[in-house]
Structure 1
Amino acid sequence: MEMELSTDVEELSETTESQDIDSDDLLELNQFDGLPFSSRYYKLLRERKCLPVWEAKCEFMDSLINSQIVIVTGTAKTGQSTQIPQWCAEFCLSAQYQNGMVVCTQIHHQTTVELALRVADEMDVNIGNEVGYSIPLQACCSQDTVLRYCTDDVLLREMMSDPLLEQCGVVVLDQAQERTVSTDLLLGLLKDVLLTRPELRLVILSAPHSSEKLLRHYGSVPQIKLEGPQPCEVLFGSGRGGVKDYLCSALRLALEIHQNENHGDIVAFLATEQEIECAHAILRREGANLALSHGELVPVSLCPRQGDSLSLTEESKSRRVFLTCSPSEDLFWALHTIRFVIDAGVQKRYVYNPRIRANSIVIRPISKSQAESRKQLAGPTGKCFCLYQEDTSLPAESVPHLLESDITSTVLFLKRMEIAGLSHCDFIDRPDPEGLMQALEELDYLAALDDDGNLSEIGIIMSEFPLEPQMAKTLLASCEFDCVCEVLTIAAMLTAPSCFIIPPVEMRQKALLCHQKFQHAEGDHFTLINIFNAYRYAKDGSYSKVEQWCDEHFLSLAALQTADAIRSELTEILKRLELPVSLPAFGSRSNSLNVRRALLAGFFMQVARDIDGSGNYFMLTHKHVAQIHPLSGYGLEVNKKNLPEWVLYHEHTLSENNCIKTVSQISAIEFIQMAPQYFFYNLPPSESKDLLQHTIDHGTAAPSKGKRKCQNSSSAATEEQTPERCTIQ
């Protein structure tokens, strides 16, 4: 797919090359905004010319002119994420932007913003004007933007309304080796878009070990290989203790570095949040003992799913130990104080099993690309301690997330793209057929598909919301049951990171007591509404007040702010679609019933029954038994004697404790009323299904055996005595 551009493009390319010879020969006016360059521009230009990627500029520009697809591979710190998008902007400018602007994708929100800020500085323009960024819930760009950084999921959603990306002249897909679901979808869909738009350019930035698969996928396209900077000193472990001892080895190394090495921060790559929590407590205790003799040692926890974001660029006089279980190293590129890297060589992955509709946690080795990238973090003067043996066989690249995720949302998106005209997505690695069939089955149960397997009217509306399909269906059902205000809050709180902060062990009991104040008798979904309403009430005061309120209640301010922003976005979508937004009625008996109905409309596939009265919940769809998560309101010791028989849960994770999370009570009659009839009859045989069938046949719940029967009677009596309005904490 090669194409010759007009002569003026080649002439301007040659002019650009001549301008690179000496900064003194550069034009005085900025080609992007027409203003004189500042002195800082020339200073940064000298730094940019020292980057390894700069030597490949002429080769890259020639490839971009003569080919639709260019693959650039390089190790970390080559400068490709900052320089190549700028050169693409020069390419578009040479054609007077007749073919569109430049968009560059990233996989992390924080990296997206930091890169946009850095590139705006290097281009000597204002952020939000010529250079901008778009991340979920936040956009900083304008009509003058010629280069925009955005997350891959943001660009994917933009394709729903602009499937051919008519506004783009060059699409740069960065971090392709990470193989996120969104990046894989873009790699597949853009292959079809390029055929329709021969003037469009696609630039793929990846790690060296991932290039072979990309070349097989796209055929004979130019590949530019970049040489990274000199790696740091690498020290491998003996492996005598086995991988089970890597946490102890990592902690021992961190303390030895602090006592014996010159100043410089440490990054320790571990596998799980539990390991980070343990390491943080130990390093804080041991660091306090060493503070007087060797200076302060400050452990900093960085978990990929936490709601708080940390400014990594801040200077610190103490030695920091960054503890992370994120498989990506991007959070640390802007931090120039790192001199030591401790790499356990393993990572945690969530692997979705379509047969039981649950995620399991798998600990596996990192890829060669990740290993090489981590060795670059410390710089040429630093040290990288690999806690695995030098001859350890690491996979060339990570398993694509598309092969290990629930792809129901992906299938809904692809069905929407079929309506937009993109009927084919050429996947690099095709999804598992079993997962694909399960996704189609779930969309059918949710009434998102018509009899021909295409999107129904409900499915089209569901695809408008940046939510998982089940939650989107719940939100639509809330319009029918007049509980939109409450379901909006539930959807926002479950989409945002968890608002609960789990402190060190010595403070944990106090945190549980604080969280217990927000508990609602109906279940965890209603507890989330209590928390959000309380946050909104505290927010009416000054900013310092709400921050203090969150600290006192062990709640994450960042997570609650994110939920607030998500809720506002969902409200705007409802208004744009002209769907009704009911007034708040939280606390009344009728409202609680309607919220349960709306939840069941979307999550009827996630219902379980306590089979013995002791908290062993049997899940109807796949006949597995799990317990309620300890942090659930029902999981607290004080509530274990009054567990509901039937519950709806939001998440089931297979791990050491095998639990269901975010649980609320329902009744068998409510489930039968809301679950599609053909879904009920497809349920595998079980005693629980027989009880439901009895309810259908006789109109009343069947009597349970033993202890559960007594609890049911007690529960029924309590329901009769429930006042019209519940107390909202």
Structure 2
Amino acid sequence: MLIILYFLKAQIEYYLHIYIIIYCVINYPIFFFKYLYELGWHTKGEIGITQPRRISAITLANRVALERGEVVGSTVGFVVKFLEKTSEATAIKYMTEGILLRELLTDPLLMRYSVVVIDEAHERNLITDIIIGLLKKVVSKRPTLKLIISSATIDAETFADFFKTNSSIILSVEGRTHPISIFYLSNPCADYVNEAVETVWKIHKKEAQGDILVFLTGQEEVLQAVSLTKDYMNLKDDNTLQPVPMYGSLTHKEQLKVFFAAEKGVRKVIFATNIAETSITIPGVVYVVDCGFIKVKWFDSDSATDQLVVVPTSKATAMQRAGRAGRTRPGKVYRLYTEEDFEKLPDRFPPEIRRCELSAMILNIKALGISNILKFNFPSPPPAKNVLAALETLHALEAINNEGNLTKPLGYFMAEMPLPPMLSRMLYMSGSMNCSEEILTIIAMLQVETVFAHPATGQGQIKARVAKRNFEVAEGDLITMLNVFTAFIENDQSKQFCRTYYLNYRNLNSAYELRQQLVILAKKHLNLPLKSCDGNVETICKCITSAFFLNAAYLHYTGVYKRIQEGLDLYIHPLSSLYTLPQPQYIVFTELIHTTKIFMSNITVIKEEWLAELSSHYYCKTSIQNNV
């Protein structure tokens, strides 16, 4: 008999609800329970727990190991992208959802697990929906597998309806919470980063002790807010505030700082992205400041590109953020928007599968032997036009053939790599083009946030801009990144070097670690030859073109760039190394950012003839010239 327990979790009052849990353990083979190991559920297989982000998987594994008096990697371990700490003794394994998806490629019935927990399912990201769709097949063929889907919002019925089993059970365990007071602005603010810092300062001066958690949209805003707060502290000669950043690409060591208590007499303020909404719980937080915006990827099927967009948050997200206050005592939430604007917010965002580019997802599903994507049973089916656009992209990248099957060896290589399809194709092509050493560096640099510091003060910004020119080249941003990384290594990964040239040491060090892990993966599993082109920049740029030819644009006579594929008007991003240089005729980019205009990010200068040479199956020379 198949029974699924959905557990709506808040702060768990373990002893208060233990009788409910024991009842479910006895009566239902699929359930949620934090202390599965103590109840012996690991004896017939591992307990696998997925998290939507690296930091939450690592943090939770460390916390559970600490509670057991062990070092992580023994009974409790974790596996995330490019990093693993497990052993033969590991019985509880925390992992990102992408890791479980890759394990499904080699173990379709997940025979190594007795229990699988899908945590934070309410986020409904792309991989969550794929995994839930696959697990529906798994539990139908392997009813002894215990499946737990944990959600922090009231949408458990959605999952229950999807699995369509009369023996499912929804268990709601409410945690003890304290009253929360919510405050709104009287009028909209023009700059929510500055408003957030000013609000923090007012809280610090007027409110009782308790740490402050500030939600912003991305790393750049977080670092800007930290810098502004330090400027306030210097101006006021006040050292009783400790600003701490929190975002996904921080190193593990830096991430742990948010959990450490501040010194006596010092208040901690954490500036965070939405990573702090549900993935982690930061002790001591009493005050929350919500900027009211969130950065999301949104797929435009007409241009066949993901666009990174900053949009107003949803009511569900606003409530999640507010829930971070009042965990230990009455809390206060300061929303940097009006109450009228809050009422206009959507209840929740559509699931990621309905608004994101799907080519990576389709690669993974096809690697599992599922040929008809539209007939695959998703919790929320993706739009057919998005599926078609993804199939066209994969066909152009030569990852699938005319019948829609994975090609050998390229398609299978791309499916095995834990990278976006264009990056995995670029890595594959680098082997035959003898520049894999350089391409591995570029890929690692693209996996972290910007390595260039952006000081908040005008004088600092000028110095940072001058320092950046030491690395900039006319070939574009990716070669500039390569130059930065090379100089970082040549200077022994020195923090002083980073300070001198206004570089972000954390992100450069993260890129170094990621590159090391990519090298191991390339050597051990993919048999990729590691070769250097010895500074031949044209070879590197051609390799980049061989993967990003779909993102090619040309300079129109009107002075704007137009994408060759459909003529979309595009602009060079102000942070690009090409922004102040004469505009090149042909370029490729890795990403579009939609703010006041549609800006191209991570640009590489190319030659027109490379498009016909490296992607003759997609472009022909005459069609390009006719567009100019």
1:620 is displaced (CA, Å) by 0.6
Residue equivalent to 1:529: 482
Q: C-alpha distance in 2, partners of 1:149/1:263?
A: 34
1:306 is displaced (CA, Å) by 6.1
Q: C-alpha distance in 1, partners of 2:160/2:109?
A: 23
1:524 is displaced (CA, Å) by 2.1
Q: C-alpha distance in 2, partners of 1:576/1:275?
A: 38
Question: Which runs of 5 or more residues in structure 2 are unaligned?
Answer: 5-10
Q: C-alpha distance in 2, partners of 1:331/1:291?
A: 35
Match 1:627 to one of 547, 550, 571: 571
Match 2:519 to one of 552, 571, 575: 571
1:645 is displaced (CA, Å) by 1.0
Q: Share of identical aligned residues, percent?
A: 24
Residue equivalent to 2:607: 667
Query: Partner letter of residue 611 of structure 1?
Result: H
Q: 1:152 to 1:222 in 2, by over 3 A?
A: same
Does residue 477 (structure 1) correspond to residue 429 (structure 2)? The answer is yes
Match 1:392 to one of 333, 336, 343: 343
Q: C-alpha distance in 1, partners of 2:47/2:373?
A: 21
Q: C-alpha distance in 1, partners of 2:412/2:379?
A: 27
Does residue 377 (structure 1) correspond to residue 321 (structure 2)? The answer is no
Q: 1:362 to 1:285 in 2, by over 3 A?
A: closer
Match 1:647 to one of 587, 594, 606: 587
Q: Is the 8 A contact 2:298 2:356 kept in 1?
A: yes
Across the aligned residues of Structure 1 and Structure 2, the Cα RMSD in angstroms comes to 3.1
Does residue 676 (structure 1) correspond to residue 616 (structure 2)? The answer is yes
Aligned length: 610
Correspondence list, 1:113-128, <5 A: 113-128=58-73
Correspondence list, 1:181-196, <5 A: 181-196=126-141
**Matched residue of 1:418: which SS?**
coil
Match 2:626 to one of 690, 693, 703: 690
Q: 1:65 to 1:417 in 2, by over 3 A?
A: farther
Q: C-alpha distance in 1, partners of 2:87/2:464?
A: 44
Q: 1:462 to 1:360 in 2, by over 3 A?
A: closer
**Matched residue of 1:236: which SS?**
strand
Question: Which runs of 5 or more residues in structure 1 are unaligned?
Answer: 5-49, 73-83, 540-544, 693-729
Q: Is the 8 A contact 2:413 2:526 kept in 1?
A: no
The one-character-per-residue Cα deviations of 1:344-371 (angstroms, maximum 9, x if unpaired) are: 4443323121211240414123333651
Residue equivalent to 1:409: 360
Residue equivalent to 2:8: none
Q: 1:519 to 1:586 in 2, by over 3 A?
A: farther
Does residue 222 (structure 1) correspond to residue 169 (structure 2)? The answer is yes
The structure that is helix-richer by fraction is: 1
1:408 is displaced (CA, Å) by 0.9
TM-score by length of structure 1 reads 0.77
Does residue 259 (structure 1) correspond to residue 205 (structure 2)? The answer is yes
Residue equivalent to 2:555: 610
Q: C-alpha distance in 2, partners of 1:630/1:291?
A: 35
Q: Is the 8 A contact 1:89 1:101 kept in 2?
A: no
Query: Partner letter of residue 570 of structure 2?
Result: A
Match 2:495 to one of 547, 569, 585: 547
Q: C-alpha distance in 1, partners of 2:368/2:374?
A: 7
Q: C-alpha distance in 1, partners of 2:610/2:423?
A: 18
1:62 is displaced (CA, Å) by 3.6
**Matched residue of 2:516: which SS?**
helix
Match 1:430 to one of 370, 381, 387: 381
1:673 is displaced (CA, Å) by 0.8
Q: C-alpha distance in 1, partners of 2:126/2:236?
A: 45
Q: C-alpha distance in 2, partners of 1:485/1:427?
A: 39
Q: Mean Cα displacement is larger for which, 264-273 or 175-184?
A: 264-273
Q: C-alpha distance in 1, partners of 2:323/2:3?
A: 39
Match 2:467 to one of 514, 521, 543: 514
Q: C-alpha distance in 1, partners of 2:472/2:107?
A: 44
Does residue 145 (structure 1) correspond to residue 90 (structure 2)? The answer is yes
1:319 is displaced (CA, Å) by 2.1
Q: Mean Cα displacement is larger for which, 279-288 or 146-155?
A: 279-288
Q: C-alpha distance in 2, partners of 1:423/1:438?
A: 13
**Matched residue of 2:589: which SS?**
strand
1:472 is displaced (CA, Å) by 1.2
Q: C-alpha distance in 2, partners of 1:209/1:3?
A: 20
Q: 1:296 to 1:289 in 2, by over 3 A?
A: farther
Q: 1:261 to 1:149 in 2, by over 3 A?
A: same
Q: Is the 8 A contact 2:444 2:512 kept in 1?
A: yes
Q: C-alpha distance in 1, partners of 2:321/2:19?
A: 26
**Matched residue of 1:258: which SS?**
helix
Query: Partner letter of residue 15 of structure 2?
Result: W
1:551 is displaced (CA, Å) by 2.3
Match 1:104 to one of 49, 53, 63: 49
**Matched residue of 1:500: which SS?**
coil
Q: 1:561 to 1:270 in 2, by over 3 A?
A: closer
1:68 is displaced (CA, Å) by 4.7
Match 2:440 to one of 464, 479, 488: 488
Query: Partner letter of residue 619 of structure 2?
Result: F
Q: 1:210 to 1:266 in 2, by over 3 A?
A: same
Correspondence list, 1:342-361, <5 A: 342-356=289-303, 357-361=305-309
Query: Partner letter of residue 480 of structure 1?
Result: S
Q: 1:495 to 1:127 in 2, by over 3 A?
A: closer
Correspondence list, 1:29-40, <5 A: none
Q: C-alpha distance in 2, partners of 1:246/1:634?
A: 29
Query: Partner letter of residue 583 of structure 1?
Result: K
Match 1:136 to one of 81, 86, 104: 81
